[in-house]
Amino acid sequence: MTYQKEYQNSLTDPITYWTEQAKALDWFSFPENILSQDEDELYRWYKGGKMNTSYLALDYHVANGRAEQTALIYDSPVTNTKEQYTYQELLDETARFAGVLKAQGVEKGDRVIIYMPMIPQVVFAMLACARLGAVHSVVFGGFAAHELAIRIDDAKPKLILVASGGKEIERIVPYKPIIDKALREATFQPQACIVYQRDFVKAALQEGRDFDWETLLAQAEPATYTPVDATDPLYILYTSGTTGQPKGIVRDNGGHAVALHYSMKNVYGVVPGDTYWAASDVGWVVGHSYIVYAPLVYGCTTVLFEGKPIKTPDAGTFWRVIEEYQVKVFFTAPTAFRAIKKEDAQGKLKEQYDTSCLKYLFLAGERTDINTLNWCEKMLQVPVIDHWWQTESGYPMLANMAGLELQPIKPGSAGPPVCGFEVAILDHDNQEVAIGEEGAVAIRYPLPPGCLPNLWEDTPRFKKSYLSAYPGYYFSGDGGYKDEEGYVFITGRIDDIINVAGHRLSTAEMEEVVAAHPAVAECAVIGVADELKGQIPVGFFVLKTGLSVTETTIEKELIKMVRDTIGPVAAFKRAIQVDRLPKTRSGKILRKTMRAIADKQTFKPPSTIDDMSVLGELEVLMNEKTIGNCGR
């Protein structure tokens, strides 16, 4: 009964509940006001509390017996490098890099954009920003220059931190030219760029604007931590929305530290000193929360893995890392295991490793399909726990809280709600639907600590995107249903966001790019089920009349345009010419219906459809072109 009791307590008296959880941290001054509302009537946790996240992640542990414990393990099969940093060493590196930032004039509240691959310097950089109270905004390496330019113009960073490049499975990705291109496009210009040069790719530095990381570091004095308010922002992380403009999710310092500390203990069931590995990327929220902040704030050892589940060098690499560092809890996206299973279905490579150190496998980023769940259980012989969250929440909202009390696992469900989250399945009239019936997944507002308090400098969009559709609730954008025991089954996004290999992408953004092609009259981009990546984007375009261009030429050009504008991560590899698109009589494109046809699902066309025959045409075309793959 521990879970049920704890969950009820968290909802009945949230103030007492989250006061107790906050006591686990070493505040410089404990918050006077646990929950309050700001001038925009948005809720804020721990107002008046003074603290510093970098202090909690480093200095606190060094002063409390963890100086010699390994804090960070860097394992990079793509460069054949392995390094380890104790808490003392990580503190020293962070303090020195904070000194570099300080010498550049970075102060509390200044923004710093970080565009770097999975190397220890990215961790030093994030923690160094936090140390000074500066607000970092990490941009995932798979995004192209235009995406960076949007973020630069929105965040207005004083500095940009960049590495010369990263390594993908079969290619080197030079990062610096992407920054240079983004800065040519952006209106806002930062004061300087600090460039970390890697051995295998050298970046050209622009005199007066770009500075060499190591040169500045050699001259820097270590900087101490700056106390910040609990409600001060720690970072901005941009994520896809339903328009071409990404949303700047803001995370505050106090609620974030409390929530992550809480989740390590109660959701993931680790104890300080354990090794925790999240195989994600620091460019995503999973990387922010569970590679960097949560394991360190909680006193664990974290693994920074610069590689892929396969081909680096093989599909046994995950098993190797688990054994080598005695990982106790492992977290990744289901797609990673589908990739491994595709290469080594029988688990032959698994036989070479002893993974008995592992206690739990957690999966998120997309729904865990039952085949993958079963396969992982068979391979690892541990509970495999699907859990649901978003960039906005920063930590799980639905999860089997293994640290509190492991509940029965129900395949297909992301679990019951995490303490603090009152999850409701709503209909269009804001009413809870019956058990088993599908609706919009919403959370009673105010959300618990750690979730986004607002969007970066865009309160109206925050209210419109999340709070207005279902009054009194935060709307997640996902659909789902509940069973009689309160377990929630997420059925997927009910907006135009798609999930490709665990990466959240906006089809609206892709449509903007496709529509900009001079030969395209109109278009639609939809997410189609894919065996490996969960979903992949597919574009459908109608050509302007009187043009003599081939479909193949246009397809190639569109693929290049999306790759150059959004980035390779969009995985946009198919564009199909159609004579017309299905629409309502008022001209709205029926994307949901198109998706259903591609995924071979039964569907009921809306009564407002303009011409039913177009659906038949599309079905024939999709079959011809083998679009859609719902074999999972």
Residue 285 interacting entry, from ligand AMP, ligand COA, none, C-beta within 5 to 8 Å by type: ligand AMP
Record the tokens describing residue 5, joined without a space. Answer: 């009791």
CA gyration radius, the chain: 24
Query: Closest by alpha carbon to 296, among 269, 328, 257, 325?
Result: 257
Residue 391 interacting entry, from ligand COA, ligand AMP, none, C-beta within 5 to 8 Å by type: ligand AMP
Q: Please state, in angstroms and rounded to a whole number, the distance separating the CA atoms of residues 51 and 33.
A: 14
Minimum CB distance to ligand COA smaller for 288 or for 503 = 503
Minimum CB distance to ligand COA smaller for 299 or for 334 = 334
Minimum CB distance to ligand AMP smaller for 90 or for 501 = 501
- State which of residues 414, 443, 528, 614 lies at the interface with ligand AMP (CB under 6 A): 414
Interface with ligand COA in residues 163-202 (CB under 6 A)? 166, 168, 173
Residue 119 lies near ligand AMP (rule: CB under 6 A) = no
Q: Which residues contact 225 (CB under 8 A, 6 or more apart)?
A: 52, 54, 55, 59, 131, 132
Residue 258 lies near ligand COA (rule: CB under 6 A) = no
- CA torsion, ordered 39, 44, 50, 52, to nearest 10 deg: -120
Angle, vertex CA 23, rays to CA 385 and CA 394, nearest 5: 40
Minimum CB distance to ligand COA smaller for 49 or for 120 = 120
Residue 367 interacting entry, from ligand AMP, ligand COA, none, C-beta within 5 to 8 Å by type: ligand AMP
Q: Please state, in angstroms and rounded to a whole number, the distance separating the CA atoms of residues 132 and 106.
A: 8
- State which of residues 150, 234, 267, 285 lies at the interface with ligand AMP (CB under 6 A): 285
Minimum CB distance to ligand AMP smaller for 535 or for 577 = 535
Residue 478 lies near ligand AMP (rule: CB under 6 A) = yes
Q: For residues 582 and 526, is the Cβ–Cβ distance under 8 A?
A: no
The CB-of-282 to ligand COA minimum distance in angstroms stands at 10
Minimum CB distance to ligand COA smaller for 106 or for 195 = 195
Is the previous residue joined to 313 through a cis bond, with omega within 30 degrees of 0?
A: yes
Angle, vertex CA 326, rays to CA 325 and CA 329, nearest 5: 110
Name residue, tokens 């390994």: 70
- State which of residues 433, 568, 609, 610 lies at the interface with ligand COA (CB under 6 A): 568
Minimum CB distance to ligand AMP smaller for 414 or for 615 = 414
The CB-of-46 to ligand COA minimum distance in angstroms stands at 27
Minimum CB distance to ligand COA smaller for 91 or for 536 = 536
Residue 364 lies near ligand COA (rule: CB under 6 A) = yes
- State which of residues 66, 387, 517, 574 lies at the interface with ligand AMP (CB under 6 A): 387
Q: Please state, in angstroms and rounded to a whole number, the distance separating the CA atoms of residues 489 and 411.
A: 9
Record the tokens describing residue 418, joined without a space. Answer: 């995490």
Q: What would you measure as the largest C-alpha separation in the chain, in angstroms?
A: 75
Binding characters for ligand AMP, 231-270, by CB under 6 A (x = yes): --------x-------------------------------
Minimum CB distance to ligand AMP smaller for 52 or for 454 = 454
The CB-of-527 to ligand AMP minimum distance in angstroms stands at 11
- State which of residues 14, 141, 439, 628 lies at the interface with ligand COA (CB under 6 A): 141
| Stretch in the footprint of ligand AMP (CB under 6 A) among 64-72, 358-366, 451-459, 595-603 | 358-366
Q: For residues 426 and 289, is the Cβ–Cβ distance under 8 A?
A: no
The CB-of-497 to ligand AMP minimum distance in angstroms stands at 7
2 burial level (CB within 10 Å; 0-12, 13-18, 19+): exposed
Q: Please state, in angstroms and rounded to a whole number, the distance separating the CA atoms of residues 145 and 185.
A: 8
Binding characters for ligand COA, 576-595, by CB under 6 A (x = yes): --------------------
Query: Closest by alpha carbon to 534, among 337, 362, 344, 399?
Result: 337
DSSP 8-state code for residue 176: H
| Stretch in the footprint of ligand AMP (CB under 6 A) among 19-27, 28-36, 363-371, 426-434 | 363-371
Measured in whole angstroms, how far is the alpha carbon of residue 375 from the centre of its chain? 24
The DSSP H or E segment spanning 498 is: strand 497-500
Query: Closest by alpha carbon to 406, among 300, 294, 260, 267?
Result: 267
**In angstroms, what CA-CA distances link 557 with 75, 549, 560, 565?**
37, 11, 5, 12
Residue 595 lies near ligand AMP (rule: CB under 6 A) = no
Residue 499 lies near ligand AMP (rule: CB under 6 A) = yes
Query: Closest by alpha carbon to 123, among 328, 327, 283, 326?
Result: 283
Q: Please state, in angstroms and rounded to a whole number, the distance separating the CA atoms of residues 9 and 401.
A: 15
Name residue, tokens 């974030």: 256
Q: For residues 458 and 236, is the Cβ–Cβ distance under 8 A?
A: no
Reduced 3-state DSSP string for 85-122: EEHHHHHHHHHHHHHHHHHCCCCCCCEEEEECCCCHHH
| Stretch in the footprint of ligand AMP (CB under 6 A) among 80-88, 101-109, 376-384, 470-478 | 470-478
Interface with ligand AMP in residues 523-562 (CB under 6 A)? none
Binding characters for ligand AMP, 428-467, by CB under 6 A (x = yes): ----------------------------------------
- State which of residues 309, 396, 480, 537 lies at the interface with ligand COA (CB under 6 A): 309
- State which of residues 335, 393, 413, 476 lies at the interface with ligand COA (CB under 6 A): 335
- State which of residues 61, 256, 288, 367 lies at the interface with ligand AMP (CB under 6 A): 367
- State which of residues 61, 96, 493, 595 lies at the interface with ligand AMP (CB under 6 A): 493
Paired with 84 in beta bridges are 73
> Strands 360-363, 384-386: parallel, antiparallel or unpaired by DSSP?
parallel
Q: Please state, in angstroms and rounded to a whole number, the distance separating the CA atoms of residues 95 and 251.
A: 22
- State which of residues 332, 372, 407, 499 lies at the interface with ligand COA (CB under 6 A): 332
Residue 366 lies near ligand AMP (rule: CB under 6 A) = yes
Footprint on this chain of ligand COA (rule: CB under 6 A): 117, 141-142, 166, 168, 173, 279-281, 284, 286, 308-310, 332-333, 335-336, 339, 364-365, 500-503, 568-569, 571
Footprint on this chain of ligand AMP (rule: CB under 6 A): 239, 285, 364-367, 386-391, 414, 476-478, 490, 493, 499, 504
